[in-house]
Amino acid sequence: MTKDRLLISRFMLLFLIAYISYAVPYTQVIPFLTKAGYSADQRGLLLSGMAIVAMVGQFLFGYLCDKFRTVQKFFYLTTVLFVIVTWAMYAYTGTSFYYHLLTVSFMGGLFRIVIGLLDTWTLEVDPILQINFGPIRAFGALGWAIGSPITAYVIEKFGYGSLGITYLITTLLTFAVSYGLEDAHKVARAETLKIKDIKLLLKSKQYILLVLILLFINIVATADMYTVVDKMLAVGASNTDISMKWSYQAMLELPLFFGGAFMLRRFGGKKLLIFSISMYFFRFLGYAWASTPFQVIAFSSFQMITFPLLTVATKVLVNDESPEHLRSTGQLFAMSMYAGLSILLAPVVCGYLVTWFGVDSTLRVLAFFVLVPLAMALWYNTMKPFSSEV
* Per-residue pLDDT tens over the stretch 105-127: 999 889 989 998 999 899 888 88
- Which residues have C-beta within 8 Å of that of residue 167, sequence separation ≥ 6? 21, 24, 25, 83, 86, 87
**pLDDT class for 390, splitting at 50, 70, 90?**
very low
- Taking residues 131-135, report their average pLDDT: 84
Asked which of 166-170, 314-318, 332-336, 360-364 is least confident by mean pLDDT, the reply is: 332-336
295-343 pLDDT per residue, tens: 988 888 898 888 888 988 888 888 888 776 677 778 878 887 887 788 7
Assess whether pLDDT exceeds 90 at residue 10: yes
Residue 190's pLDDT is what? 46
Helix (H, G, I), strand (E, B) or coil at 12: helix
- CATH code of 148's domain: 1.20.1250.20
Q: At what angle do helices 72-91 and 3-26 cross, to 10 degrees?
A: 20
36-46 pLDDT per residue, tens: 888 877 887 88
Q: How many domains does the chain have?
A: 1
Structural domain containing residue 213: 3-389
What angle is formed at CA 284 by the lines to CA 279 and CA 287, rounded to 5 degrees? 130
pLDDT score of 189: 56
pLDDT tens column, 214-271: 999 999 998 887 788 888 888 888 777 887 787 788 778 788 888 877 787 788 889 9
Across residues 57-73, what is the average pLDDT? 87
Residue-level pLDDT at 347? 76
Does the pLDDT of residue 54 top 60, yes or no? yes
Could you tell me which of 249, 227, 229 has the C-alpha nearest to residue 237?
Answer: 229
pLDDT at 192 over 70: no
How far apart are alpha carbons 383 and 98 in whole angstroms?
46
Residue 104 φ then ψ, to 5°: -65, -40
